[in-house]
Amino acid sequence: MEAAPGKWIIDGTLGGGGHSEMFLKAGARVTGIDRDPEALAHAGARLAAYGDRFSTWQGNFRDLLEIPEIREGGKADGLLLDLGVSSRQLDSAERGFSFMRDGPLDMRMGPGSPRTAAQIVNEWDEADLVRILFEFGEEPKSRRIASAIVREREKRPFTTTLELAACIEKAVGGKRGKTHPATRAFQAIRMAVNEELESLAKALDAAHQVLRPGGRLLVITFHSLEDRMVKRFLRHRSSRFVDDPGWPEPRPNPDFQFELLTRKAIQPSASECNLNPRARSAKLRVARLLDTPA
Ligand SMILES: C[S@@+](CC[C@H](N)C(=O)[O-])C[C@H]1O[C@@H](n2cnc3c(N)ncnc32)[C@H](O)[C@@H]1O
């Protein structure tokens, strides 16, 4: 990120404020965004000692262009998106993200999320359940799980995380592997509840309008669909030319805006994964906005 005094960094996913704190310690000014008011209150209090070098904005990072300083023409030196849920969210039973802790079937990251997990599980058509389980969860047993959910909810609607986890475990059957059988399904439902891929697509699209020339975009993903989206986006936006089999020669790319700084994603070392097992699937990609983007 090259955080330093005089730089302004937007942390699009404030969460517990760990990354923001590193940027602040390096002397930068930081605006922390989160859709979760609880995260803003917690991290805001923790980072209050940095005074007016730290500010917060509650909202979805897909609306980056709505940040007051951006609306007034300000440009940031860096933008970080560290996707997914935070450890705090995952560990609070009452938020309903965890299949290990009993809580209401909620999974909303914040009040702006359009629906709860209970609405999806109890109201969506079986075909839509299959689709999200397969697409967002990459769940090979999506049909079997969706059909079990529909049969179960006809008897009684689902209200808690453990009821849903037990139904999925029964539907999947067999011996338990290293990961809980409901892992993929819970991830898929969470992504649908919070429209996570749509938000990412919009934020990536807005990045070049938010950064000053030379500013850096850093994205950390934890899911192959998200990583693919970031990888394709950066590959396209950092290509000087585009080609098509029907064209006599490559043409200049009108979307050429970034220089890719990570040809391959940066992944955590084995020792980092030992210290923080939740980092194991993280992939970081970094790009720099060109001085004269197309
Ligand atoms: C993985 S955590 C970030 C952890 C943070 N980097 C830290 O150091 O503690 C992701 C955070 O981003 C928030 N978040 C996820 N998607 C968001 C979105 N579309 N808009 C705003 N905040 C979002 C979540 O509510 C969560 O608090």
Which residue CA neighbors atom 5 of ligand 1 most closely?
A: 15
Q: Please report, as a single letter, which amino acid is at residue 279.
A: A
Task: Determine the distance separating the centroid of ligand 1 and the alpha carbon of 169, expressed in angstroms.
Answer: 28
Q: What is the mean pLDDT of residues 29-45?
A: 97
Angle at 11 between CA 115 and CA 15, to 5 degrees: 50
Of 31, 82, 81, 79, the C-alpha closest to 210 is 79
Q: Does residue 27 surpass a pLDDT of 90?
A: yes
The predicted model scores a pTM of 0.95
Cβ atoms of 7 and 211 within 8 Å: the answer is: no
Task: Determine the distance separating the centroid of ligand 1 and the alpha carbon of 70, expressed in angstroms.
Answer: 20
Q: What pLDDT digit, counting tens, does each position of 215-239 carry?
A: 999 999 999 999 999 999 999 999 9
Cβ atoms of 117 and 46 within 8 Å: the answer is: no
Buried b (16+ CB within 10 A) or exposed e, 158-194: bebbbbbbebbbebbeeeeeeebbbbbbbbbbbbbbb
Asked whether 215 lines ligand 1 (CB < 6 A), one says no
Select from 13, 80, 95 the residue to mutate for testing ligand 1; criterion: most ligand atoms less than 8 Å from CB: 13
Asked whether 19 lines ligand 1 (CB < 6 A), one says yes
Q: What is the pLDDT of residue 294?
A: 62
Q: What pLDDT digit, counting tens, does each position of 51-68 carry?
A: 999 999 999 999 999 999
Asked whether 17 lines ligand 1 (CB < 6 A), one says yes
Residue 123 burial (CB count, 10 A): 11
Which residue CA neighbors atom 3 of ligand 1 most closely?
A: 15
Domain boundaries 8-87+196-289, corresponding CATH code: 3.40.50.150
How many whole angstroms separate alpha carbon 171 and alpha carbon 187?
17
How many whole angstroms separate alpha carbon 41 and alpha carbon 258?
34
Residue 84 burial (CB count, 10 A): 22
Of 166, 130, 128, the C-alpha closest to 146 is 130
How many whole angstroms separate alpha carbon 146 and alpha carbon 136?
14
Asked whether 139 lines ligand 1 (CB < 6 A), one says no
Asked whether 142 lines ligand 1 (CB < 6 A), one says no
How many whole angstroms separate alpha carbon 16 and alpha carbon 165?
27
Q: What is the pLDDT of residue 101?
A: 92
Asked whether 84 lines ligand 1 (CB < 6 A), one says yes
SS3 assignment, position 31? strand
Average pLDDT, the chain: 95
Cβ atoms of 130 and 136 within 8 Å: the answer is: no
- Sorted by where each begins, the domain ranges of the chain are 8-87+196-289, 114-193
User: What strands, in cross-sheet order, belong to the sheet with 258-260?
Assistant: 54-58, 29-34, 8-11, 76-82, 211-221, 283-289, 258-260
Asked whether 37 lines ligand 1 (CB < 6 A), one says no
> pLDDT tier at 179 (50, 70, 90 boundaries)?
confident
Q: What is the pLDDT of residue 175?
A: 67
Asked whether 21 lines ligand 1 (CB < 6 A), one says no
Q: What pLDDT digit, counting tens, does each position of 224-278 carry?
A: 999 999 999 999 999 999 999 999 999 999 999 999 999 999 999 999 999 998 8
Any idea which fold 114-193 has?
DNA polymerase; domain 1 (1.10.150)
